[in-house]
A = this chain, B = another copy of it.
């Protein structure tokens, strides 16, 4: 029996794959070589989760991997109509990023509540400027995204005394549906975007939605850049429709040095790092190895993406 061919899209070899020695023929490729190698692969591991090459190189009706795994929570960068229509199974890194991203959101929310960015600006200028800050306990958050990341964010904010409502595509116990969104946005001190990028969520944070928010509200995006109309966000901040924002994801990453977003007043920009705590690559590698062992043994995969929806359906 020949070992299955595991094609890995990345320049750097992922950690932990050594455990698959003898059980997989591991072939590495970069974006340029992907189209040539895809037809011969049984499994594709998209380790470089910043790449959009899979959608371009996907062989359509031709020979193709039976399973694609991406080392990321979002699958927007690899989905294309032909992949969605095929019988190829797509899995994601569900679970690895939940707690780190929830902590990162708590860090941003607390930093804004306590006005830390301005404190450190004053420190650079050697200015002692006492201000009153905001008590976090008792405030309200609206978390958009009802997957494990959104739920971990809500859980962490609740642990800090925040009343947190979650909005998802499908209303269920503890999760509001899209019909409640505008009402919840209009009452929230904190609006946290943690939704997958799909046709239904692209550009959902537009001028109208920023207009619904309170002037004291702060907006955080840890989902995907294109959830947000970035021009609208800049306008809402400049006109003080909202009090502040922090974005860890942007429509174009890395953000270009000449982008005006670096200097929008009240906007904190971080380089897509919310989920990436020390050891994350090892965790992603170990998670893939576990999935591979299931797949090779003919057991059902977990973290299977609903390709028509663009995410792993919730419980």
Interface residues of A (CB under 8 A from B): 99-100, 103-104, 106-108, 110-111, 113-114, 116-117, 119-120, 122-123, 126-137, 156, 159-161, 253-255, 257-259, 262-263, 268-273, 276-280
Contact = CB atoms under 8 A, between A and B. Distances in A.
Contact of A273 (B111, B131, B263): B131
A130 B268 contact: no
A128 B278 contact: no
A106 B99 contact: no
B278 A133 contact: yes
A219 B120 CA distance: 17
A21 B135 CA distance: 31
B120 A110 contact: no
Name the residue in A107, A272, A273, A278 with the highest tally of chain B Cβ atoms < 10 Å from its Cβ: A107
A133 B99 contact: no
B114 A107 contact: yes
Nearest to A280: B132
Contacts of A133: 100, 104, 273, 276-278
A262 B126 contact: yes
A272 B127 CA distance: 13
Given A269-B123, A273-B131, A110 B114 contact: no
A272 B130 CA distance: 7
Nearest to A258: B126
A104 B111 contact: no
Given A271-B128, A271-B130, A110 B103 contact: yes
A114 B123 contact: no
A118 to B, nearest CB: 10
Contacts of A273: 119, 130-133
A272 B129 CA distance: 9
Given A99-B161, A120-B268, A133-B276, 7 more contacts: A100-B135, A107-B111, A107-B113, A107-B116, A116-B270, A126-B263, A132-B280
A137 B278 CA distance: 12
Contacts of A156: 160
B120 A276 contact: no
Contacts of A119: 268-271, 273
Nearest to A161: B99
B113 A103 contact: yes
Name the residue in A99, A128, A131, A280 with the highest tally of chain B Cβ atoms < 10 Å from its Cβ: A128
A117 B262 CA distance: 15
Contacts of A126: 257-259, 262-263
A278 B160 contact: no
